[in-house]
Each structure stands twice: as structure tokens, then as C-alpha cells.
Structure 1
Amino acid sequence: MNNLLIDDYPILVLPKLATEIGLNEAIVLQQIHYWLKNSSHYHDNRKWIYNSYPEWQKQFPFWSERTIKRTFSSLEKQDLLHVGNYNKAGFDRTKWYSVKYETLNQLVARPSGQNGPTIMTKWPDAIGQNDPTNTRDYTEITTETTNNNILSGNPTSPSIPYKEIIDYLNEKAGKQFKHNTGKSKRCIEARWNEDFRLDDFKKVIDIKTSEWLGTSQEKYLRPETLFGTKFEGYLNQQPQPSGMDQLERMKHDESYWD
């Protein structure tokens, strides 16, 4: 039998939970719930786990560190995690996490339909008011877990905002690009699939328009250049002062001439 099917720890995902909070978020939350069972870190009346992002990536090797950061941030914004800092070193900013079951209980109490089951009664090792605790190891694959934890197949990642990205470029660069042309969409989609998001596109546009607008490089203020394979390099580039910025500094900052 194929090793990929049985020789590794399976990651369990409940379709309804993924629908409610997002697929990546459901995966991480379920795993945190599992790890908390075995945690020996007890503070403020609850168990905690912690890890650096590189260590988290070892737990989720199929994701980039960027995706993991975004997923944890989403869980925090949805108020599904307690966040603490119990590090011994004051300079250590590693976050500690515990599942916010009170928020989760409110979420999962809503049935999926008029007579539909709730999430909590299906969640392995659930901690609910009337739910039994199941302590079986996650490596055990049974018909029940297979049937209850098949992914829904519906993508939960946000839709790509082609129009908003191109409109922002047009506004900043004074252009008239169309958001629905194949070339522009392919460039945007390629970067989006690398886990870059709207704020990243806007930042690249801001950096390069500030640098290129009004220069011979202005012709490169186009989707295929800005959103091409050099996108990440542009994103991490330090913004360059524009010609007007330099002129203002020359006029008012005596240290410019030092």
C-alpha cells in the first residue's frame, strides 16, 4: 500500500469547521488542540504550547512560513486563541497559544442545518459540555475518522482581487491597465499562489512608483514587470526617495550637504 496513505501522522479536518473559520485555520486549530493534551506548560489555569515560526513550519512542511504566520494571525483575529508570553528571557517574543474554547463553543453550537449536527460532537478529543473525550492516538486510521474528516474540496482561500490590484496601480502610476487581461491575471495569480496578498501588491506598487515615476524606468510600471518573478525582491526593497523628496531635503535639511 502507498506509504503516503498510512505511514505518517494524519491531519484531521472537519469540513464544517473549515467552512466556518477557513481551511488552514481549521488544520492549525485542530493540531493545537491535540498538542495541548500532552503539554506540560500550565499557566493561568490553562495549558499552553509555543514555537518559533521556523519550528511551526517543521510541523506544517507543506506551507511556507508566510502562510503559517498569516494563519495564526487569522486565528487571533477570530478570537479563537489565547495568546501569552511566558518566556524566561524578557527579550524573547515567542508567542504562547491555547485554544479559546469559549469562543469555539459559541461557534460550533450553531447547527449546519435545521437538523444538522454541530462541529463539536464530531471533533476528535472534543472538550464540550456533553461530549465524551476520545483519547485514541491520531495515527489510528479508522473508517469513522476517514468518513468524518474528508475535506470538502471547496477552496477557502480568499478570491484574488485582480480589479483592486490593477485599479491601485492605475491610480498610483496614472495608467489605464485592464484587470481582466490574461497576462495581468496570470502574473497576479502566480504571486497570489505564493501566498502574497493585497497589501503586498500595494506595497510593491508604492515602492516602484516612488522610484520609477517620472524617470526613464516609468515604462516598467506595468503588471508583467511589477508582479513578475522579481516581486519578492521589490517587496523587500527599501523605498527610494523620489526626486521631489530629495529636492525638499536639499532645501530644508542642512545635513544633506555634509
Structure 2
Amino acid sequence: MPIERGLDPHINHASENSKNYINFFTYSEYKKEQTKYSYFKLEKVFGTRKANFINKLKYWLSKCGRNINGISGKWIYNPTHEWANQLNCSTSTIKRLIKSLEEQGIILSKKVNAKRYNQTKWYSLNFNLLNNMLTSQDIKDNTVKNKWTNRLVQNEPIIISNNRNNYTNTSSKKFKNNYSDSKEEEINFSNVLKERTAQKTKLTTNETKLVEQMVYLWNKVFIYSRNPIKAYISKSNKKALVDVLNNHFEGDLDKWREYALAVNSSQFLMGEKETKKNFRAIFSWLIKEETLEKIMNNEYGIGDRELDMNNISKNIEEKKEEVVNKMDKKISEYMKIKINDKKEREEFIEYVKSASITEDDRYGILKNIIKQVPKNYILEREEYKEIKENLYESYVMKKHLSITKIEVREKIRNKIKKIIENKENSHKLLEELDKKIMKKQVLKQMS
């Protein structure tokens, strides 16, 4: 049965009865599927991790592999992070394993979907080549075994077993090649692991510069955003950033920048889509393996939003109004602290009832009342509550500051306009306007 066009890249379409992802299989099922190939031989030829991956791939091909029109053999798709879960390793390790086995010709891969946005790879095994390699692999003598052991020491963790526990050491120098004779109590494994962790997180000078460039390029993409998703460097993410650049973008900073642009092009990721929890992406989540894969497969509505760099004027206007609203709110809050709110509200109600829209309106607030709406409606009815509150704030401001709410807002807009006129770099405006919002002595802005 041919693969339908436009398949969802994150659903396993290997069989009608299969679930969204390939599930873990039991040890007994695993043993049944090892009858054809000797795991010992696979390990001797390919190493432990590759042998494990080949066995897993073979198992799932036999269980739920799918025929693809015009291509021989069985094929299957499983997301990288699911392979990683099954093999208990990182997705970057899986990617290296797949790439290496593809180069050896053991794994075959095809992009079977015609749609440009769906470039999902499906995998199969080259059974002819695999059989030939295993057939030519005879059991070697002790000399060959020793050479193989040395190779394992260089490339794989050293395992020490007393039939109860497995300990892993990542440095052959720690054991001086006599690990089989060492006593468990003589080895401080926690210190070894701590040293190894420190080595993994410590970056070279070039890697540090790369991480700095990654953060700079990312923030440059978002510099025009009203609410940017800011990149940053921390102890916990700097190694992850290097891995992301190398494993997902081939070390290419231009491709990393394109990823930032993709994020900026999504309403959902930028927090502009209505969701139950008001979701908005954060940088630490965006550099996770699973998130990267989904975004690079055009999930999360990539492309449904205009890039901020193409919308600078609109963003500045929207930011201006945001500043006006926030400063206006701060002034109102300030006034309520300084006055007797209950007393002022009672006097406000009496003022509105007694004053005429055209006469006796010494505070100039009633001219803003809709003439067709009776004053008692505004004072008493719920649907006019917002208008009533705005009138009250204008009343208090005019009474104590000699300026109405509308005049305050206009004055703030004029000050912002001057800031814009004096700024040569438009991308710095949004940051400057944000600083204005944070000013504590807001009233001084009105003087």
C-alpha cells in the first residue's frame, strides 16, 4: 500500500493498528527477534550502540514495517527522540548513529512525501549488505579479541560487574588498563562522574565565541518584537547550544538564524494565539531536541505570522499605546493612594448629577459623555461601568492636577513622539519605551 501524500510527520503510519509512536517492546519479544542475527556478531562488527540500534530497527520493520510504492522492502518512521528513549541515550547520539550507518550503507533512508514542508525520513535495512558483513565476520583468535577490547575501552564505557551492580567509568586512564583486577571499594566513582560532567560542560574558546554569536543573532531577530523571546547564556544551556548548532544546523550560524526567524513567524510560539494557559514559548524550551524537531517540521503554525523585522512601524505604534495605557494606569493608581477614594467618589456622583454638560462643568469631564445616554444610566448601569470609571479618573486628575485623563494620555503620546524623533536606530525604540513604563516618578513626565 503506497504512502499517502501529506502524512503527519509526527505520527507513525507504519500500520493501521500502530499507535502514534512505536511503543517499548518487552524483553521476551526482543529475544525472539534475535534468532536470525547473533547479537555477539553484530556487536563485534558495529559496536554496542550500533548493534542495539540495528536490532531495534529490524524488530520494528518485522512488526509494523510498511511497503512504499515503487520502493522494495519494508520501511518505518519513528521520531529521533523516541529512538533515544528506547536506547536510553540522547537524540544527538541517535543522529550520529543513523548518519554513520547510512554512510556504511547498512541503513537506507527515503523522503517519501512530495510536500515541501514534510521532509520526513523513512528507514529500512540493507539486509544483503548486512548478511555479507556478518558472514565474513569469523570468530577471531585471542589477539583479535584483545584488539577489540582495546577498541571498546577507547570508544565505550568500561563495565565492571560482580553479578549485582554495573559501574561505569569514562576514563581508561583511571584504571590504568587493569580494571578487571580492581576492587569496587577502591574506586571513587562519584568523583570520576563529577570530573566527567565538568569536562562535558566546559567549553573551548571557540565554542564560547560560537555560543555568544548564537545569542547575539537570535536577539537581533527579536529586537523588533513588542514582546521578544530573549536568548541568554547560562551554565545549564551553553553546552546544549553548542550541541544544537552542531547536531541540528551543521555548525551553520545562518541556519540557526533561520530557526529564530521560524519561531518569530509563529503566532502560537510568540504567545499571540488564544490558549487555555496563555502559552508563549521560552528560550530554554525552544532549544530542546523534541521542540527543534517539531518546529523544523513546520509544526506550531510556522509561517502564519508576519516577521517583526517587516513590521517595525506597526510594532512601534502598538508599543506607544502600550506605554500610554501603562503610564495612565500608574497615574490613576498613584492618585487613588493620595486621595480619600470613597469621599471623592461620592462627590463625583453629586457633581455629575448636578452639573450640566454645557454649563457648570468646571472640570470639563461631562463633554465626553455620550449626549444620547442619560447621566443616570452611566452612573447606575453595568454596561456603562468603564465609561463611569474613566470619567471619575478624569474628575480626580482635573481636580487635583489640573489635567484630565484625555489630556494626560495626549501629553504622554507627545513625549513618546519626541523620543522617537530623537532616536536614530528604530530597533532601540521598543527597549527605550519599555524603560519609560518602568519609571517610578511617572508624574514628573507630565511636567
Q: TM-score, normalised by structure 1?
A: 0.46
Which entry has the higher C-alpha Rg, 1 or 2? 2
Identify the structure with the greater helix proportion.
Answer: 2
Higher relative contact order (CA 8 A, sep 6+): 1
